[in-house]
C-alpha cells in the first residue's frame, strides 16, 4: 500500500513535469521553473516537448504497473528504476535539485516496493 501511494506520487510528479515541458515551457510558469529566457525557451521548445513525451511514457509505465497490482511488480520496479536513472543523469548534467525532486521519491517508492 505504501509503495503504491509513493508510486502514485511519482507518477503525478511526472505528469507535472510533462505539462511543464510540453505545454508551459515557453510560458511564464515554465520560464520561472526552469529559469529560462524567452529566447532560449522558444528555440528549445521542440526539444522540451520531446523530453515531456518521455516523462509521459514513464507515467504510462508506472500506471500500467499499478493497474496490474501484485502481478505488475517487475514493471513497477523497471519504471521506477528508469525514473531513478533519469533523475541521476539530470542531477549530473543539469541540476543537483533533480536528484531530490525526481530520483529520491522514486528510490523511496522502489525501496517500499521491495521491502514493504
Q: What is the pLDDT of residue 107?
A: 98
Query: What are the CA-CA distances from residue 11 to residues 31, 41, 80, 87 (Å)?
Result: 23, 25, 10, 14
Q: What is the pLDDT of residue 99?
A: 96
Q: What is the pLDDT of residue 30?
A: 97
pLDDT in tens, 30-64: 999 999 999 999 999 999 999 999 999 999 999 99
H/E stretch holding 98: helix 97-98
Nearest to 65 by CA among 57, 56, 55, 73: 73
Mean pLDDT of 96-109: 97
Mean pLDDT of 6-29: 98
Give the global pTM. 0.92
Q: What is the pLDDT of residue 89?
A: 97
CB 10 within 8 A of CB 18: no
Amino acid at each position: 500500500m505504501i509503495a503504491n501511494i509513493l508510486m502514485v506520487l511519482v507518477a503525478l510528479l511526472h505528469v507535472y513535469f510533462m505539462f511543464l515541458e510540453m505545454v508551459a515551457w515557453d510560458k511564464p510558469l515554465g520560464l520561472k521553473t526552469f529559469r529560462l529566457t524567452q529566447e532560449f525557451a522558444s528555440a528549445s521548445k521542440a526539444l522540451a516537448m520531446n523530453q515531456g513525451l518521455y516523462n509521459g511514457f514513464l507515467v504510462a509505465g508506472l500506471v500500467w504497473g499499478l493497474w496490474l497490482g501484485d502481478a505488475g511488480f517487475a514493471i513497477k520496479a523497471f519504471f521506477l528504476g528508469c525514473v531513478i536513472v533519469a533523475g541521476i543523469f539530470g542531477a549530473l548534467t543539469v541540476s543537483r535539485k533533480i536528484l531530490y525532486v525526481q530520483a529520491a521519491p522514486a528510490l523511496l517508492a522502489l525501496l517500499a516496493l521491495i521491502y514493504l
